[in-house]
């Protein structure tokens, strides 16, 4: 399976009977799948299909789906509610004989709520059903385009992530070959420190001090960390090769990379190995940032 990004954009549009419509889909990063549909009034039944279809094709990401619909052949009409107007005129005539007031103007009467009515064009059930079917089909088209764009982005991300894994491997090999990480080099440095301490005071137990130095030397060896980094590299390459929705697993693996690199840096008492560890931290962080975009 191919890798997929969680970011993408797609549009689709069409007409059906008197209706013209357009879908606009946009997806961004998220921990899970969240499909948010914004639909015009009267088109709510489209949401059920959208949610179901989105769950079939996507596994992660927040997807914003916006539908706009317009009637192409008829507009709203304005009419006067004669009954309401007659009642208002009657009341105004009755009040005119009792109070001293200016007679109501036409624009004043028309401004009264209920006098003017906006009449929407009558809908046809057959036309409406056909339009909703067409809108559903257009959503499927837009969603398919979104999935394809996410896959293209995922392919690019895959190349970048493989490059980061190659860099991690190259740095791990440098750490492996670093003379300062060898147990002999660590012991030699500790021996120098022990000798300096013994020279400065005669109160140290030489045998006990040597035992402690050997224990510290064993703890300072980064062999286990480098072995685990090599294992993580193999797992990352396997996931990237298999593809599919592996973003969460790779994110966890990035955290494991980070843990081993941190331990390597904390154990190191050699400048070259420490510098390699800092370079590893930078590349691992770059790897983690890119993984955040994967589905």
Q: Quick one: how many helices (H) and strands (E) in the chain? A: 9, 6
Residue 81 CB neighbour total at 10 angstroms: 13
Q: Which of 119, 139, 173 is the last residue of a domain?
A: 119
In-domain check, residue 1: no
Q: Check whether residue 265 and residue 144 sit in a common domain.
A: no
Task: Give the per-residue pLDDT at 184.
Answer: 66
Interval 265-281: pLDDT, tens: 887 777 888 899 999 99
Tokens at 86, concatenated: 């007659």
Are the beta carbons of 104 and 92 closer than 8 angstroms? Answer: yes
Task: Give the per-residue pLDDT at 33.
Answer: 95
Whichever domain contains 142, its CATH number is 3.30.230.10
Q: Check whether residue 159 and residue 286 sit in a common domain.
A: yes
What is Dmax (Cα atoms) for the chain? 123
167-to-76, 191, 247 alpha-carbon distances in Å: 65, 35, 20
Interval 209-225: pLDDT, tens: 666 556 555 556 778 89
Task: Give the per-residue pLDDT at 58.
Answer: 95
Which domain range does residue 102 map to? 77-119
- How many domains is the chain partitioned into structurally? 3
- Three-class SS state of 114: coil
Q: Check whether residue 88 and residue 64 sit in a common domain.
A: no
Q: Check whether residue 216 and residue 201 sit in a common domain.
A: yes
Q: Check whether residue 235 and residue 180 sit in a common domain.
A: yes
> For the chain, which ranges sit under pLDDT 70?
73-76, 97, 101, 119-123, 180-220
Alpha-carbon gap, residue 287 to 252, rounded angstroms: 12
Residue 23 CB neighbour total at 10 angstroms: 25
Q: Check whether residue 113 and residue 172 sit in a common domain.
A: no
Left (φ > 0), alpha (ψ -120 to 50) or beta: where does 61 sit? left
116-to-78, 84, 105, 110, 150 alpha-carbon distances in Å: 7, 9, 15, 6, 50
| pTM of the entire predicted model | 0.73
């Amino acid at each position: 399976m191919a890798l997929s990004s969680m970011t993408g954009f797609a549009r689709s549009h069409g007409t059906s009977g008197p209706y013209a419509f357009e879908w606009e889909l946009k997806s961004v990063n998220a921990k899970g799948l969240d499909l948010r549909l914004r639909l015009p009034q009267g088109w709510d039944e489209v949401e059920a299909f959208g949610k179901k279809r989105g769950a079939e094709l996507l596994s992660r990401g927040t997807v914003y789906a916006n539908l706009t619909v317009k009637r192409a052949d008829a507009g709203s009409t304005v009419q006067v509610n004669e009954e309401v107007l007659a009642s208002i005129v009657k009341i105004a005539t009755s009040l005119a004989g009792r109070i001293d007031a200016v007679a109501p103007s036409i624009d004043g009467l028309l401004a009264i709520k209920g006098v003017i009515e906006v009449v929407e064009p009558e809908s046809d059930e057959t036309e409406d059903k056909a339009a909703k079917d067409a809108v559903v089909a257009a959503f499927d088209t837009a969603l398919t385009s979104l999935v394809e764009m996410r896959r293209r982005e995922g392919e690019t991300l895959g190349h970048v992530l493989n490059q980061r894994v190659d860099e991690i491997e190259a740095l791990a090999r440098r750490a492996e070959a670093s003379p300062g990480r060898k147990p002999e080099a660590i012991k030699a440095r500790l021996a120098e420190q022990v000798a300096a301490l013994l020279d400065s005071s005669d109160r140290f137990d030489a045998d006990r001090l040597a035992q402690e130095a050997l224990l510290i030397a064993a703890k300072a060896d980064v062999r286990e960390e480098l072995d685990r980094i090599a294992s993580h590299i193999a797992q990352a390459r396997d996931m990237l090769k298999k593809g599919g929705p592996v973003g969460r697993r790779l994110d966890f693996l990035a955290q494991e990379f980070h843990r081993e690199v941190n331990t390597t840096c904390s154990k190191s008492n050699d400048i070259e190995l420490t510098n390699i560890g800092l370079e590893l931290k930078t590349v691992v962080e770059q790897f983690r940032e890119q993984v955040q975009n994967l589905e």
